[in-house]
Amino acid sequence: MMSIEAIPPQRIAVASYPAREEATELAVVITAFLTERGLIAHHASLYDETLCSQVKDGGVDLLIALGGDGTMLRAGHLCAPSQVPILGINVGGLGFLIEVGRDDWQSKVERVLTGDYWLQERMMLRAEHYCREEMVGAWDVLNECTIGRGATVRPVQLITEIDGFYLTTYVADSLIVATPTGSTAYALAAGGPILPPELRNILLVPVAPHLSIDRSIVLHEGSWVKVTVRTSHQATVCIDGKPPESLQDQDYVEVRASEHTVHFVRLQEPGYFYRNLTSRMHRNPVVGDKG
């Protein structure tokens, strides 16, 4: 897959998380800042249909996303197919995926406008839900695909195959299939390893396995995973924290590397991940932060 060259952007969309008033207010300020410099810039909610259409059609060179990590996930889903780079400005909580703080955005944006940045590629997964051999849902995944139980607090059986070969049957709350980006999200909370974000591997992490394999497994990018659900009660598949989709007994989910890649604008040196990781591991995210 070809990388995108870091060039000075001319057409910029400024997208904010609509539930955070301060994100919308800052988006207005940034848009005015860009317009005063002769650039084509507009702002809207990240869920605005016109903005989404412009991004999907390749009508912008850069998306500036204001919010938290949830906003960055949404921006990644939107921008990956058209390979639009994303600059994140933190108006949320922890900000694992975000490059710029709300108090130093001007100097950082000025650097981006001169082309003084680099682009970090983050792999995505493709998850497909099948019912009786018919595909009934498909999604691109930046963090993780989680297959498991629903509201009923009872484990499900998850028959797991790798590259068409039987691996094991987990009896667990769920199985997380994550990207390296997702290794610092739900997979980390479930005891999984932290993977460098540039890797292109697939991570399997069981959640609360009962008398089952309790170790995480790291797969090659070219591998694919099939998880078949056996249950007498509710089961679900959840993509990047979105509302879950229902699974029936003997439904299965196939997960493999996606053809799409997310490009995040970076201003720090490439070793930033490990330096920032230490500080973030000693913080708790803001309770209830959805941005």
Which sequence positions are flagged as catalytic? 69
Cα three-residue angle 92-236-148, rounded to 5 degrees: 90
Distance, CA of 147 to CA of 170 (rounded, Å): 11
In one-letter notation, the amino acid at residue 232 is S
Phi then psi dihedrals of residue 137, to 5 deg: -165, 150
Distance, CA of 228 to CA of 167 (rounded, Å): 12
In one-letter notation, the amino acid at residue 229 is V
Mapping DSSP to helix (H, G, I), strand (E, B) and coil, where does residue 139 land? strand
CA-nearest of 190, 163, 161 to 174 is: 190
Sole residue written with tokens 């997979």: 187
Per-residue buried b or exposed e for 22-56, using 16+ beta carbons within 10 Å of the residue's own CB: ebbebbeebbebbeeeebebbbbbbebeebbebbe
CA-nearest of 191, 195, 166 to 176 is: 191
CA-nearest of 187, 62, 81 to 126 is: 81
